[in-house]
């Protein structure tokens, strides 16, 4: 067998092992296959600034990218194992052991990892050996021609079996069934909430500018979940413990019984570049967090709420922001409907004035009242700041593309949730700042749309904007990267006027 053929058989053996592991994971109803668990581990171990660069380049393809890189790594290792199988058996076996060990560690490191998952890894490792033995076995008893045909037939059978098992496992994967079941429950919920329409005057109604009220389907999504947690609200619980006078466990019905408040709140990601669109505004229906904290009683010295999601993501929120009376809520609804699964169904946190990574835990299941000195949350461990108050920012949405000389509408949004925006100014080619007109807002917790009529001359021009908050402080011109606590600097666009 040539070196190239033995590498190819190794890649095929690895493919068969992946198909087997996916098939077993589906048959055993595992929450996650080993490949998914490995992908999650890659996401978790990627250092923050690197993760940030990757997200900024590949945008929402970050999740497929994590899975693809895991699959490619497994196939490469498979190729090596195939090359070693005949001459360096010990190395080849060691390669399989390493693969099984890494996959098992990834499975066990996940919140719902189990012994069954490890068994799937072991069996799949065995498949690599079985396939290599089948395909690379020496057949001195056969004529070269017959040996070749036998090899091709066996290879064909392995490919076929791999395709069938892989295809079936994708169809049968338990997450599809569980997702359908959770979607059915979600659709049947009748929550005591009203669908608010945007208050009058908030939307300038300009063509090509996004609406003030972001539709759920257009709302940005940021999280570390390769496949979102699928939670039945009837079994959902929030366990509250730590530095509290009395522990408390809340059910979905408990929250409904407390009554849902609706609040307009804009949420924003710390990874939003200047001018970026990782920001959205909607009305959230939920239960005030402040009252729940009062009920459990906070012990002296506590300054943080460490929240954990069903998928093991963690978030540290300053208690002060949850107790100072702002509309921090445990949200059940988004724009009048139960939270979409991707946005945290059944329950998530929403806190005006803080970036999502320190406040907006989706699929939340556990609260520990504690001290910042005693823990590090997911993104803090990865290089982001411990606390993430939102910076004053403006974004320019219009004009899009080149325009004709004359009066041109320049427009955008500006925000600093829970401080509010007092004014926005625009300047052309570094000239004087000109006051833009602001639309209305229902509170200081949302973004505000702004516009300015520009008498545009022919030529290439740079448009910049800056917002000033309601404390009278203009946004900084200092350019900062999104790491460690959010981007800053004036948004700018280049326009050719013809
Ligand atoms: N469970 C969980 N919650 C999470 C995250 C996550 O990765 N996992 N990401 C946070 C971040 S960084 C942001 S910006 C917001 C985004 O919420 P959205 O996807 O509903 O827009 O969710 C927050 N809540
Ligand atoms: Mo974020």
Give the closest residue to 429 by CA, choosing from 337, 494, 342: 494
Alpha-carbon span 101 to 147, nearest angstrom: 35
Q: Give the DSSP H or E segment for 412.
A: strand 406-415
pLDDT string in tens for the chain (498-residue length): 788 999 999 999 999 999 999 999 999 989 899 999 999 999 888 887 787 777 666 666 778 888 999 999 999 999 999 999 999 999 999 999 999 999 999 999 998 899 999 999 999 999 999 999 999 988 888 898 999 999 999 999 999 999 999 999 988 887 788 899 999 999 999 998 878 899 999 999 998 999 999 999 999 999 988 889 999 999 999 999 999 999 999 999 999 999 999 999 999 999 999 999 999 999 999 999 999 999 999 999 999 999 999 999 999 999 999 999 999 999 999 999 999 999 999 999 999 999 999 999 999 999 999 999 999 999 998 889 999 899 999 999 999 999 999 999 999 999 999 999 999 999 999 999 999 999 999 999 999 999 999 999 999 999 999 999 999 999 999 999 998 999 999 999 999 999
- Nearest C-alpha to atom 6 of ligand 1 is from which residue? 223
Q: What atom of ligand 1 comes closest to residue 364's alpha carbon?
A: 1
Q: Is 356 in the pocket of ligand 1 (CB under 6 A)?
A: yes
Residues paired with residue 170 on neighbouring β-strands, in sequence order: none
384 in ligand 1 pocket by Cβ < 6 Å? Answer: no
Domains in the chain: ranges and CATH: 3-172 (no CATH), 216-381 (3.90.420.10), 393-497 (2.60.40.650)
Could you tell me which of 472, 467, 384, 469 has the C-alpha nearest to residue 418? 469
DSSP 244: B
| 8 Å CB contact between 238 and 249 | yes
Q: In sequence order, what are the beta bridge partners of 456? A: 406
Q: What are the Cα distances from residue 88, in Å, to 84, 117, 139? A: 5, 29, 19
Cβ 223 under 6 angstroms from ligand 1: yes
Separation in Å, CA 328 to CA 130, 262, 284, 445: 56, 11, 10, 11
Measured distance CA(93)–CA(99) in Å, rounded: 10
Contacts of 248 (CB under 8 A, 6+ apart): 240, 292, 295, 296
Closest residue CA from atom 16 of ligand 1: 222
Angle, helices 89-108 vs 115-136, to 10°: value is 160
* Structure tokens, 379: 């993104």
Counting ligand 1 atoms within 8 A of each CB, the residue from 44, 48, 223, 311 with the most, and so the one to mutate, is 223
């Amino acid at each position: 067998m040539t070196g190239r053929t033995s590498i190819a058989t190794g890649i095929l053996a690895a493919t068969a092992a992946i198909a087997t592991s996916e098939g077993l994971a589906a048959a055993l109803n595992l929450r996650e296959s080993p490949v998914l668990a490995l992908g999650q581990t890659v996401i978790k171990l990627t250092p923050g600034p690197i993760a940030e660069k990757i997200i900024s380049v590949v945008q929402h393809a970050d999740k497929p990218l994590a899975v693809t890189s895991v699959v490619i790594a497994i196939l490469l290792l498979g190729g090596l194992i195939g090359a070693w199988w005949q001459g360096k058996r010990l190395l080849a076996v060691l390669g399989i052991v390493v693969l099984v060990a890494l996959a098992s560690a990834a499975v066990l490191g996940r919140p719902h990892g189990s012994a069954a998952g490890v068994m799937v890894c072991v069996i799949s490792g065995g498949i690599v050996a079985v396939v290599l033995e089948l395909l690379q076995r020496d057949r001195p008893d056969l004529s070269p021609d017959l040996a070749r045909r036998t090899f091709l037939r066996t290879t064909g059978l392995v490919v076929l079996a791999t395709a069938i098992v892989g295809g079936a496992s994708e169809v049968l994967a338990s997450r599809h069934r569980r997702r359908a079941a959770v979607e059915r429950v979600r659709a049947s919920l009748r929550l005591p909430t009203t669908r608010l329409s945007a208050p009058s005057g908030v939307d300038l109604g300009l063509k090509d500018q996004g609406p003030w009220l972001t539709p759920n389907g257009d709302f940005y999504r940021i999280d570390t979940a390769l496949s979102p947690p699928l939670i039945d609200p009837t079994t959902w619980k929030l366990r509250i413990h730590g530095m509290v006078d009395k522990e408390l466990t809340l059910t979905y019905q408990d929250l409904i019984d407390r009554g849902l408040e609706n609040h307009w709140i804009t949420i924003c990601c710390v990874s939003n570049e200047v001018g970026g669109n990782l920001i959205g505004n909607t009305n959230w229906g939920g239960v005030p967090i402040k009252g729940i904290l009062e009920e459990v009683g906070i012990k002296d010295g506590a300054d943080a709420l460490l929240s954990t999601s069903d998928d093991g993501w963690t978030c540290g929120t300053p208690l002060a922001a949850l107790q100072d009376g702002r509309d921090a809520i445990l949200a059940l609804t988004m724009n009048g409907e139960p939270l979409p699964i991707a946005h945290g169904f059944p329950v998530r946190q929403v806190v005006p004035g803080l970036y999502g990574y320190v406040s907006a835990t989706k699929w939340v299941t556990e609260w520990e009242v504690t001290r910042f000195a005693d823990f590090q949350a997911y993104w803090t461990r990865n290089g982001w700041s411990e606390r993430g108050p939102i910076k004053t920012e403006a974004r320019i949405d219009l004009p899009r593309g080149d325009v004709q000389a004359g009066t041109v509408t320049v427009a955008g949004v500006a925000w600093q949730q829970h401080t509010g925006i007092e004014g926005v100014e625009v300047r052309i080619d570094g000239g004087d700042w000109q006051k833009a007109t602001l639309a209305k807002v229902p509170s200081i917790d949302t973004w505000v749309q702004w516009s300015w009529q520009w008498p545009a001359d022919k030529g290439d021009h740079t448009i910049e904007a800056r917002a000033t908050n309601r404390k009278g402080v203009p946004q900084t011109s200092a350019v900062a990267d999104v790491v460690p606590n959010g981007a800053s600097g004036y948004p700018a666009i280049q326009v050719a006027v013809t």
